[in-house]
Structure formats: C-alpha cells, structure tokens
Amino acid sequence: MNTVNENNICKKPIKRTINLCLLSFLIIMSIIVGYMAFRGYRDAIKHRYRVHLKGIIDLVDTQMDRDDLYNCIKTGVKSEKYEELRLFLDDIVDTLDVLYVYIMIPQNETGYDSQMYVMESHSSEEYADNRYRDMFLLYSGSEFPEQASRNFMEAYNSDEISYFDSRSSWGRQFNATMPIFTENGERFAIICAEINYDVILTMAFRYLVLTVAVFVLLGLIALFMFYKWIERKITVPISRLEESAVEFANKLETGENLDIIVFHDPDLRTENELDSLAFSIKRMAQSVRGYVKDLIKANEEASNAKLETKEMTKLVYKDPLTRVYNKAAYLEEKILLTNEIEQKIAKFALIMIDVNDLKKVNDGFGHEHGDEYIVGTCEIICDTFVHSSVYRIGGDEFIVVLRDRDYANRDQLIAAMTERFNECSKDNNLKPWKRFNASCGMAVYSDGKSVDDIFQEADADMYRHKQEYKLNS
C-alpha cells in the first residue's frame, strides 16, 4: 500500500454510511407505518363491531317483555316468555356472528360472585356437545376479575349502551352492554353481547403483517435501485477519482520524471447528478404511491363493510310482520324528540293506537288471521298518516309521531281514521278478520313536558276511548 493511502485511511466510508442510513430509514418507517396501520385497522374493526353489537342488543330488546322478565327474577320462576327469549338468544348466537348474548344482574365489584345470571345464550355446537348450563339466577363465582366486575357495574348504572374490553375465565372479550328497566322505570338487569377480542387482534395483526411485508418489499426494491444509482453515480466515481488522485500524489512524492507525473482523467461521465437523483426519488415515490393505493383500497373495503353493517342495522329497526318501524326505532326517535325539546324547537304530537278485538280473532280464527288483522289495521294507520312515522311498539300497540303536515291536520286525520275503522268493523260483507278496528288517543307537546309525559297523556286518552268502545260493543 502506498504512503498516501496509509496516512488517509477512511474511518467512515460514504458507501457504508449511506447503506446504514437507508437501512435505518426502512426499519423506522416500517415500525411507524405498521403501528399506524395496526391501530387504524383495529379501531375500524371495533367500530364495525360496536354497530353490530348495538344492533343485536336492540333486536333482543324488541323481543323482551321486561315486566315478565322482572317478575321471573323476583319470583324465581321461569315463564313461557322467558323460555322464548332464551331460545331467541340461542338463535342470535348461531346466525349473527356473536360469541355470547346474556342477561345478568351485577352484584359487586370484588370479582367473586360479582354477577348473577338471568339467562345466557348457547350455540348449537354447545348443545351438540352437551355443554348446556341452566344459568337462571346462577352466580358467576370467580369467572370475572375485579376490572370486569367494575365495568359491568358501571354499565348497569349507566343510562345508555356501554362498550368496553374485559377479561374473564374464557379469555378476552369486547362487550356491548345496556341497562334494562321495567315499564315503571325501575332498573333491574343488563343485556350483554360480546365477541372474542382475540378475533379483532388477529385480524388487525394479519393486516399489520401484510402491510409491513408490502412496505418492506417495496422499500427493499426502491432502496436497492437507489443503492445502485449511488454506486454508479457517487461511490464508484469517487473511488475512481481517489485512485487517480492517489496515483498522482505518489508519483509526485517519488519525484519521478515530470513527464509521467500526470493526473489521469477517470472519465466519470456522471452527466446531471441532480436529474439522476430526481429520477430515483420519482421511482421511490411511484413505489410509495403503490403502497398508498393499497391503503386506500383497504380503507374503501372497510367503508363498504361499514355500509353493509349500516344496512343490517336498518333491518333491526323494522317490525318483521307489518314492515313499519319497531320499538327500538321509536326509542331512537324519542332521543331526537328529547333533543328538540332541549333546543326549544319541538313541535309534535303522539298518537297511541291499540288494536281492538285482536284476542277474539286469535281465539276464534287462529293467530294466522290474527296477524292478518294486525297488518290490515296497520295499513289503515299508514294510509291515514302518510307523512308521519308509524311504530309498532307491542303486539297490538302502535304509536304515530306527528310532524309538519300531519301535525297541522291531526284532528281531521284522526276523525278520518276513526270513521274508516267504524265503516270497516261494521261491514258484514267482510270476513271477521277483515273488519279492522282500533282505539286511539292523542297528546300534543307543550312547553315544560317531556316525551314520556306526552306518551302517558296519549296512552291515557287511548285507554279512555278503549273503555268507551268496550261499553258500546
């Protein structure tokens, strides 16, 4: 080795420094992108399951006779409606992608006997494996730790649906929980629906692995090309230039013939280096664009899944027999009305409608004609109040929320509907189950009252008309 090289050994070669910087950049960006992708996808999945679990809870709520369930708990005796509701929970688990649906009563926050079960769903697989357990008024033992017990107690004391992650002896779950009240407003239990939280983490982790793999692959391709460009445009030309400079310096030190002490042009031919760098960056940008494109596609798929879930939620708010809105939808409407009252912009009326003589039709001609009787009555209601929302809130009970045009013409519309029911019920040419009839009552909102106040007034007015009908029939 010559003297110049011995005295000027490079401690930090440019090539090695660039390689380390590029590798460090790839690692750091992979960690950042992976973390952001994991959290984003995990949160998107949790949001989708929030909507899904809420729909399931609302669906269970529409099928529940709260006072009957409350009486079962108090007396310790199961009713026919209790068994129907328990079987309904089993059907939900088998058809709606949920781990468990159950009703319980929080007892304490200590983590032992912290819950008393009222009922719990069982899948068809559990029945097949003979793993069914009667959970009626059964205590949980040590199944739930303290944190889970506190979560259930907080959900019980809340007035709305709650979401939280919890652990139990069965693993990690993602829960949606809603308190249950009697018709008199007494809080007595909670409805819970849960999925396996490991499912969320597994889906998010798979997305993380895929995202990081794609990013690293694209990054390696881009970095390899960039490295080759640096080698061709920077490191190799510098090495050749160094060789020429060292050769010239050695010759100068040896004092050889001046004719041979010349600098040999390395003939680099690097052209425009900035243009070359811009071209490489452009190539990297194209690779990153492809990655972003993949992310956008994934987000679009998540949005489509969200829309599909929203469509499923709409079905939850429909009464399967009459196709009008159900009680769960009315509870949502009640929230909107309450907000309007708080903003002092409320202007509405409620009409309570109860189907007359339904029991006679059911007992005399069968429940199939009874259902036809309910549907026919509902059609008259909908034909009358074409600009208002109609809700079936019970087996033979409907409620109409009057707004705008129907609100302005409410007295004429009620009179028209009553006349139509009278004509239909007295038409002897019709089959008995075609002689539709119903009693109704109306209440108009005024300042200082709540939605429940208007509901009670309309219900009382309907009951008065119901009694008059019974006296005259």
113 and 192 both lie in a single domain: yes
Average pLDDT over residues 28-48: 76
192 and 206 both lie in a single domain: no
Q: In the structure, what pLDDT confidence band is assigned to residue 305 with cuts at 50, 70 and 90?
A: very low
67 and 195 both lie in a single domain: yes
Comparing 152-161, 239-248, 404-413, which segment has the lowest mean pLDDT? 239-248
Q: In the structure, what pLDDT confidence band is assigned to residue 249 with cuts at 50, 70 and 90?
A: low
- Residue 310, domain member (yes or no): no
pLDDT one-digit tens code per residue, 394-404: 889 999 999 99
CATH number assigned to the domain comprising residue 467: 3.30.70.270
168 and 217 both lie in a single domain: no
441 and 331 both lie in a single domain: yes
58 and 195 both lie in a single domain: yes
- What is residue 464's predicted lDDT score, i.e. its pLDDT? 94
- Mark which of 199, 233, 262 sits at the end of a domain: 199
Backbone angles phi, psi at 324, to 5 degrees: -90, 180
- Mark which of 199, 234, 262 sits at the end of a domain: 199
- Mark which of 199, 226, 251 sits at the end of a domain: 199
At residue 300, does pLDDT exceed 80? no
423 and 355 both lie in a single domain: yes
Domain span including residue 351 = 325-472
- Residue 244, domain member (yes or no): yes
Q: How many domains does the chain have?
A: 3
- Residue 313, domain member (yes or no): no
33 and 99 both lie in a single domain: no
- Residue 404, domain member (yes or no): yes
- Residue 274, domain member (yes or no): yes
- What is residue 222's predicted lDDT score, i.e. its pLDDT? 79
